[in-house]
Structure 1
Amino acid sequence: MSRLRRMPPRQTRRRSYDQYCAAARALDAVGDRWTLLVVRELLGGPRRYTDLHADLPGVSTDVLASRLKDMERDGLATRRRLPPPSAASVYELTERGRGLLPVLAALSDWGAPELVERRPTDAVRAHWFAIPLLRALQAPGRVAVVEVRLDEGVFHLRLGDGAPSPYGDGPADAPDVRLTLDTDTRTALAAGALTLAEGVSAGQIKVEGDAALLGV
C-alpha cells in the first residue's frame, strides 16, 4: 500500500467579503482589479475580446478572460455570436451592468483632480473621456448625438435618448453637434472647472451643427 498521503483538494479563492452590507455585496461583484474598467469599455457598446484587450493596456489575457467570465456569472455581461458573415463573438452589458454608469461617473468626478498632469507612463484613449464629458453635457430634456473631437481621437455621446450605450468610439453617423477641443480644455470641462458655454465663448471649444441643442 502506498505510503503517500493524499493531499487535500486545493481551495479556490473566495470572492466574497461575507458581510451583510450593500457596499460589500457590490464590491464582491465589481471590486476586483480591472472589472470596472471593463464595464467602462462595454458602456460604449458590444466589444470583441481583442478590442477590449487593445483598449485596456496593461491587462493580461488571462486576467481579462477571468474578469469577463466573472461578469457573465454575476449577470453583468453576456456574450453572443455575431450573425454571418462574421464569425466573431462580442461581449455586452446586461441591464444590471449598464446600471454601473452612475458609479463610474461618480468615480470620474472624484478622480478628475488627478488629471492635472499626465504621467509619462500613462496610456490614453479618446473615449476614456466620454463618461466625464457625458456628465458635463447632459441636462434635463436634452436629446442629441454629439461628436467629440479631441487631440487623442474621436468619440460620440448620446444624450438623453435612453440608448443602451451612452457613448461610442469613433465618429457618429449623423451627429447633431460636433465639438472640437484640445487636451487642456477637455480636462477642465470634464473636471467642472469650465462650462461648455464658457469654453465656446472663449474660443476654446469649436461648435459645428445645432449648438442650441446644447444650450449654447
Structure 2
Amino acid sequence: MSGLRSYGDPCGVARGLDVIGERWAALVVRDLLLGPKRFNDLLGGLPGVSPNVLSQRLRELTEHGVVQRREMGAPTRVRLYELTDWGRALEPLLLQLGRWGSQAPPLPEGALGVDSLLLSIKAGFDPAQAAELRGVYEFHVDADTYLAEVGDDSVQIRRDTAPGRPDATLTTDIDTLRAVCDHQITLDAALDSGKLRLSGDKHATRRLTDLLLAPFTPPPQPAAGA
C-alpha cells in the first residue's frame, strides 16, 4: 500500500478518506452493500468508470481490508467481490451521506441504478412505520432478485430470495422502476401497461409499494397563506 496517496493526518476523518477517498472507491462500496458482485456487474453499474480504474480501486480496497475476493468453485468458477465486516460498517455512513447529498442540486443527466434506488429505501425508512410495513418482499428487477425484510424498526435489503413464500413480489425492469420512483409515470399506469407486476394479497402488495415509494414521495406543501 506504499504507493497509495495519504493525507498524512492522524485524524480519523483523514484516515477514513485515505481508504475510500479516491474517485469511485465509495461508489464501489455502495454497490456492494446489498451483496457480492462480479467484476462485470460492478462495471455495468458504474457508468463512466474504466475497467482499469475499477480494477485499481478493487485492488486498493482489498489491500485496505474493505473488500475481499471470493472464488466460486466448479462449475461456475466465478470471482465475486464482497465487503468485509469492516467494509459493511460503512453502510450507515453512506446512507447518511446519501440523505445529505439528496439535498444537493440534481444533475442535468444521469439515472439511478437499481442498487441506488433500493438503498434509497433504506436511507429513507422511517422506523415509526415498521409495524405498518412489516413483511417479506421480493423485487425482481430485470435478471436480479432482491429481498426486503421489514422487522421491528428497520428494513434489510440484499440480493437474495425469500427462504419461503414472500408476502408480496414486484416484477419489473429498471427503466419502469426508475420512472415510477421519479414520478414520470404512476404505479397504476405501470401496472396497466404490463411492465410492472405485483403478486400477493392486496394488503401485502400495498405494504410493498408503500415501502418502495416512501423515499420518493415529495412532502406535502403547506397551504397558501399558512
Fold equivalence (TM over 0.5): yes
Q: Which moved more, 1:34-43 or 1:179-188?
A: 179-188
Count residues in correspondence: 186
- Deviations along 1:104-153, one digit per CA (max 9) or x if unpaired, are 1111101223475x633x144222111111233362776643335789x9
Q: Does 1:135 align with 2:130?
A: no
Equivalent residue, structure 2, for 1:107? 97
For residues 50 and 155 of structure 1, what CA distance do their matches in structure 2 show?
A: 19
For residues 189 and 41 of structure 2, what CA distance do their matches in structure 1 show?
A: 32
Are the equivalent residues in 1 in contact too, given 2:67–2:82 (CA < 8 A)? yes
For residues 139 and 63 of structure 1, what CA distance do their matches in structure 2 show?
A: 38
More helix by share: 2
- Deviations along 1:140-191, one digit per CA (max 9) or x if unpaired, are 776643335789x975434449xxx83228x867433346996576358xxx
Equivalent residue, structure 2, for 1:55? 45
Amino acid at match of 1:72: T
Overall identity of the aligned pairs, in %: 32
Say which one has the larger Rg. 1
Gaps of 5+ in 2: 192-197, 212-226
Q: How does 1:164-175 map to 2 (within 5 A)?
A: 166-168=157-159, 174-175=165-166
1:97 aligned to which of 67, 82, 87: 87
Are the equivalent residues in 1 in contact too, given 2:146–2:157 (CA < 8 A)? no
Equivalent residue, structure 1, for 2:136? 145
Measured after TM superposition, the shift of residue 77 of structure 1 is 1.0
2:58 aligned to which of 40, 63, 68: 68
Gaps of 5+ in 1: 1-11, 189-198
Q: Please, what TM-score do these two structures have when normalized by structure 2?
A: 0.65
CA RMSD of aligned residues (A): 3.8
Are the equivalent residues in 2 in contact too, given 1:30–1:36 (CA < 8 A)? yes
For residues 56 and 84 of structure 2, what CA distance do their matches in structure 1 show?
A: 18
Taking a change above 3 Å as real, the CA distance of residues 82 and 17 of structure 1, as seen in their structure-2 partners, is same
Are the equivalent residues in 1 in contact too, given 2:135–2:151 (CA < 8 A)? yes
- Deviations along 1:65-98, one digit per CA (max 9) or x if unpaired, are 1111111111111101102111111111111111
1:43 aligned to which of 33, 44, 51: 33
For residues 182 and 167 of structure 1, what CA distance do their matches in structure 2 show?
A: 17
For residues 189 and 10 of structure 2, what CA distance do their matches in structure 1 show?
A: 49
1:83 counterpart SS class:
coil
Q: Which moved more, 1:70-79 or 1:130-139?
A: 130-139
Taking a change above 3 Å as real, the CA distance of residues 34 and 110 of structure 1, as seen in their structure-2 partners, is same
For residues 73 and 158 of structure 1, what CA distance do their matches in structure 2 show?
A: 33
For residues 107 and 30 of structure 1, what CA distance do their matches in structure 2 show?
A: 13
Q: Which moved more, 1:55-64 or 1:205-214?
A: 205-214
Amino acid at match of 1:19: D
